[in-house]
Structure 1
């Protein structure tokens, strides 16, 4: 994906029972208005103390936690339900999940709608660290073709890009799948 097609990067933190910040949604909305992609960096918790240990001054740390793609997508969908502004429609918002990007054997790339990514087996995303790209409407047909190779459902990927994102696509090639 060309870097010129990316808007502001956002960070997505773990929700808790009583803390569900949604301020990142405004950046995603701004990027969507401009038609640009949004890189979503997923939370990591390393060397964190529990509230109780912190309050009591105990230097006991929680085990490391890394936000997964299913957790991130569930929180994005929950945020859309809270904000209800139509920016992150689970069935028509395309996204690309990434982990261990760099070309090594542990690299994973998975593309689909938010709902498809949510319902996909967690182990398909590989080991952390994960990140997510929410696709903007200035989607280029070469981006569609490339990401289609990693799509959960290739037909859904192409039809959403064509019908919702209004991306002019060549007919699908006869690639061996």
Structure 2
């Protein structure tokens, strides 16, 4: 049987009792932390909690090899990840594969930034529009879609939850400052007057789920230099 287990937001203590019971009883545990990770924990801390060794997978093993699914034909195998496991489309595909191969599976959900960030912002949840992600720019890769998504939401008088890119394999984690700089660079590249300016009200949220969570609201010009 295959178990897909979400670990929650910040550290190993965020895992649900159902998830903990599952991980204590499976035959093998794999982990992937490139789509999401627990910034207040480590896989060693999770190993201590569940009493089992955990094999951390690299991106290719998750997206291409899928050995954990093959092993689930004859053993109880769990794949763990930060947040809620079905937020990443890659993980949804695992369930499709299990169905095609006749492998039983169970999803154990975890708390997600998609609900926690809007909640801690104090804004009304039903006033949020399309979610967007700001990626790390690269050679010939500087998409304007994050800016355009925010603009479309503003036209409908909706808030936007903007996720920031992570590249765990390179130990790169985008900050709020970098995300705002990205948006301002796009604004400066546009040949038209955009709806997003340095005076636009924004809110930066960091370390959600921890005791020192940071929530700061203000104009983009104020937040872009806030540490």
Q: 1:93 aligns with which of 200, 204, 208?
A: 200
The answer to whether the aligner puts 1:76 opposite 2:198 as a matched pair is: no
2:170 aligned with 1:67: no
* Aligned residue in 1 for 2:156: 34
Question: Which residue of the partner structure matches residue 124 of structure 2?
Answer: 2
Q: CA deviation at 1:26?
A: 2.1
Give the CA deviation at 1:81: 1.1
The CA deviation at 1:85 is 3.2
Per the TM alignment, residue 119 of structure 1 is displaced from its structure 2 partner at its CA by 1.9
TM-score by length of structure 2 reads 0.44
SS at the partner of 2:149? helix
Structure with the larger helix share: 2
Tell me the CA shift for residue 87 of structure 1.
Answer: 1.5
Matched, 1:115 2:189: no
**Structure 1 outlier segments of 4+, above 3 Å:** none
Correspondence list, 1:1-177, <5 A:
1-47=123-169, 63-83=170-190, 84-90=192-198, 92-102=199-209, 104-120=210-226, 122=227
* CA apart distance, 1:17: 4.6
2:217 and 2:143 mapped to 1: Cα distance? Answer: 26
Deviation at 1:43, TM superposition (A): 0.2
Aligned partners of 1:23, 1:112: CA distance in 2, in Å? 23
| Range that drifts further, 75-84 or 107-116 | 75-84
| Cα RMSD (Å) | 1.4
Offset at 1:3? Answer: 0.7
| Aligned pairs, number | 104
Structure 2 residue aligned with 1:136: none
Aligned partner of 2:58 in structure 1 is: none
SS in 1 for 2:161: strand
